[in-house]
Amino acid sequence: MQLQVTNSPFNQEQTEILNQLLPTLTETQKIWLSGYLAAPQTAAFLMTPESRAKNQPVAGNSPQSIKPSATREVTVLFGSETGNCQALSEDLSQKLEEKGFKVVLSSMDDFKTKDLKKVQDLLIITATHGEGDPPDNALSFYEFLNSRKAPKLKDVRFSVLALGDQSYEFYCQTGKDFDQRLEALGAERLHPRVDCDVDFDDLAAEWMEGVLGQLQDSSQVGQVEDSNVTKIAQLQTGATIQQVTKYSRTHPFQAEVLENLNLSGRGSNKENRHLELSLEGSNLEFEPGDSLGIYPENDPALVDRIIAEMQWDPEAPVTINKVGEVPLRIALLSHYEITILTKPLMEKAAQLSSNGQLKALVAPGNEEKLKAYIDGRDLLDLLHDYSPWEVPAKEILGILRKLPARLYSIASSYKANPDEVHLTIGTVRFHAHGRDRAGVCSVQCAERVKPGDKLSVYVHKNPNFRLPADPDAPVIMIGPGTGVAPFRSFLEEREEIGATGKTWLFFGDQHFRTDFLYQVDWQRWLKEGVLSRMDVAFSRDTAEKVYVQHRMLAKSKELYQWIQEGASVYVCGDEKHMAKDVHDTLLAILQQEGGMDQEAAENYLTDLRKQKRYQRDVY
C-alpha cells in the first residue's frame, strides 16, 4: 500500500512514515489499527491477538463487545528444511489468532518435549527430506516421539500436513510417520492427514480450512462484533490508498536477465553459469541464505517429439486450472512436468492404457522393476514404450503434475545489490537409455536464455540458513561446486555491514584451472580481510582424489578451536555424498580433538544444530 499526498491532511514527513509502516502490517494489525483510530467516534472496539488469547481487552475497549475466548490452546509445530513448512505454519497461526484461538507456534527442535503431554490440539506441518528422513529441525522431536519416553496422548487431538515430492520413493514419509505415531500414542485425529506434492498451495489451503472448521465446531472462539469495523481501505482521511503488487510463488515477477556468463574454463567437464537478474520494480527483498525460485520452460525439442509421437494437434485447446484455455504445445512447454516419471504417474498411466506390460510393471511385487524403469526416463519414453494410447490428449495431460519451480541459492547480497539477484547454476546434462537428457531449468538458462530475456521468479525464504545475529561471531563455510553460491552472498553481506568476525571457506571442485568458481572474488576478500582463510580441494588434480572433508580433517585442530570459540558451521551442496561425508568428518574431528566418544560427538552436533550453529542447505 502507498499513501498519496494528494488531498491528505498529513505533511510530507508523516506521509513518509505511514508509507514505511503500511506495507509491513498484517491484516490483523490493520484491523486493530482501524478500530483503535475509530474508537472515540464509533466505539468499534478490537483486541490484539495476544490480549484476545488472554481474554483481556485492550485498554479503553468495551468488554461487552467480546465473546468468550477459545477454551483450548492450539499448538502448531513445523519441521522445515527449506522454509515452506515454516511459512505455512506462520500463515496457519495467523488465521487461528484471527479466529480468537490461543496459539503456540514453534519449530519441533525448539519445542520442549516435556510439554507434549500438556498439549490440547496439535497441528503438525512437516517436510520429508532425503530418503524419507525428517528435516534437520524436526529430528530430535521425531526421535523422541518414536522412543519409549513418548507419553500417552489420549487427551490430544491432532492433524498433519505433509509436504513432499512424488519423484522420491519415500513420498511424505515423515508426515505419515508422525500421523501414525500420534494415533498409536492414543491421540485423536482431528482432521485427516493431507499429503502434498511440490505444488502444495491448494491442498494446504484445503487442509487449513478443514482444520479451522473442526476447531471452530468444537470450541467457543472469541470474536469481535464488527458492525462498525472494516479492514483499512482508507485512513479515514479521504486519502486514497494504492495497492502495491506483491510478487510470490503463486504470482512470480518477470525478471530481466542482465548477465549470463559461463564460469567454467575451457576444457572443463562442467558448465556452471553465473546469472544476474534485475529485480527493479519488484519490491522483492532477500537475506543471505535465501533462494530464488525460477519457473522454467520445457525443452521445445522434447515437447515437439512428444507431440509427434502421439500425433497430437499442437494447436488443440487445453484447459488448465486457474489459467484457462491454451494451445496444447504451450501447455506442454510451460505448465506440465514431462522430464520426470513417478510411481503415481505410472499407476495413473496404467489405468488409461490397455497395455498388459505396463499394467504388470505397476502391479504389487514389481516395485524394484518399476523403480529401475523410472530412473532416467521421461514422458516420451513412457508414451513410446507402451503405445498405442487410445485416449485423447487431455486425459494424458490430466495425469501430469504441474511443472514445479526450481530453487537456486542466491549468490549475492541484497544490501550490496538491492536491484539485482545473482545465481550460480550447474548445467545438468547426461545420456541415458539411448538418448541425451537435460535438466529443465539449468539447460534453459545455459542454452536458451539471453540478456534481455525474462524469467518468472520469486524469493524463497530460508530461515533455517542464516548468518549469526552477532557480526563478530566466527563463521565456517563448506561449499563444494555450486554449493559455494550462498557463501558469496554471506561474504558480500559481511563486507557491506562491516562484520569483523573471522570467516573460513572450504571449497572444492574437479580442477583448479577450469573449475575454481569466483576465484577473483575469494582472492580479493582474502586480501581485504573479509575472508580470513580458505582451503581448497581439486579432486582431479592429484593422483588420489582429495575432497573438502579431507581438507577439514587436515586442519582438525584449528577447526575444533574455531568451533570452541563460538563459530557457526554452514554446509551447502549435495546431500547424498558430500553432506554426509562432511557430517561424518565433523564427528571425527570432535572425537579426535575433543576427546569425545561417538555418542558424545553426535550429541554435540545436535546441540550445535539447536543453537543454530550447525546449518545445512543440502539437496
* Nearest CA-CA partner of 277 in 453, 80, 112: 453
**Number of Cβ atoms within 10 Å of the Cβ of 146:** 15
Instruction: Tell the residue number behind the cell numbers 483510530, with chain if given.
Output: 37
Please list, residue by residue across 539-576, b when 16 or more beta carbons sit within 10 angstroms of its beta carbon and e when fewer do. Answer: beeeeeebbbbbbbeebbeebbebbeeebbbbbbbbbe
407 in a known ligand binding site:
yes
Instruction: Tell the residue number behind the cell numbers 479503553, with chain if given.
Output: 60
424 in a known ligand binding site:
yes
354 in a known ligand binding site:
no
| Cα 603 to Cα 600: distance, rounded to the nearest angstrom | 5
User: Grid coordinates representing 469?
Assistant: 545475529
254 in a known ligand binding site:
no
86 in a known ligand binding site:
no
Residues in Cβ contact with 547 at an 8 Å cutoff, skipping those fewer than 6 apart:
480, 508, 537, 539, 578, 581
2 in a known ligand binding site:
no
**HSE of 280, CA atoms in CB hemisphere, 13 A:** 6
**The dihedral formed by the CA atoms of 539, 542, 546 and 551, expressed in degrees to the nearest 10:** -120
498 in a known ligand binding site:
no
| Cα 271 to Cα 427: distance, rounded to the nearest angstrom | 5
* Strand 194-196 with 157-163, pairing: parallel
Strand partners of residue 106: 77
Number of H helices, E strands in the chain: 22, 23
| Cα 352 to Cα 354: distance, rounded to the nearest angstrom | 7
**Number of Cβ atoms within 10 Å of the Cβ of 326:** 16
190 in a known ligand binding site:
no
Amino acid at 129: H
440 in a known ligand binding site:
yes
166 in a known ligand binding site:
yes
| Cα 494 to Cα 289: distance, rounded to the nearest angstrom | 13
266 in a known ligand binding site:
no
| Cα 527 to Cα 38: distance, rounded to the nearest angstrom | 59
Rg (CA), the chain: 27
406 in a known ligand binding site:
yes
Phi, psi of 177 (to 5 degrees): -65, -45
3-class SS of residue 606: helix
The end-to-end CA distance of the chain, in Å, is 37
339 in a known ligand binding site:
yes
**HSE of 240, CA atoms in CB hemisphere, 13 A:** 6
614 in a known ligand binding site:
no
545 in a known ligand binding site:
yes
| Cα 270 to Cα 397: distance, rounded to the nearest angstrom | 34
Contact between 158 and 124 under an 8 Å Cβ cutoff? The reply is yes
273 in a known ligand binding site:
no
Instruction: Tell the residue number behind the cell numbers 503434475, with chain if given.
Output: 401
619 in a known ligand binding site:
yes
161 in a known ligand binding site:
no
Instruction: Tell the residue number behind the cell numbers 479521504, with chain if given.
Output: 238
165 in a known ligand binding site:
yes
The helix or strand, by DSSP H or E, that contains position 350, with its residue range, turns out to be helix 343-352
172 in a known ligand binding site:
yes
Strand partners of residue 73: 102
**Number of Cβ atoms within 10 Å of the Cβ of 529:** 11
167 in a known ligand binding site:
yes
Contact between 83 and 410 under an 8 Å Cβ cutoff? The reply is no
Contact between 1 and 244 under an 8 Å Cβ cutoff? The reply is yes
**Number of Cβ atoms within 10 Å of the Cβ of 372:** 12
541 in a known ligand binding site:
no
111 in a known ligand binding site:
no
Q: Residue positions in the annotated binding site for FAD?
A: 339, 406-409, 424-426, 439-442, 619
Q: Residue positions in the annotated binding site?
A: 163-172, 339, 406-409, 424-426, 439-442, 539-540, 545-549, 581, 619
Q: Residue positions in the annotated binding site for FMN?
A: 163-172
Q: Residue positions in the annotated binding site for NADP(+)?
A: 539-540, 545-549, 581
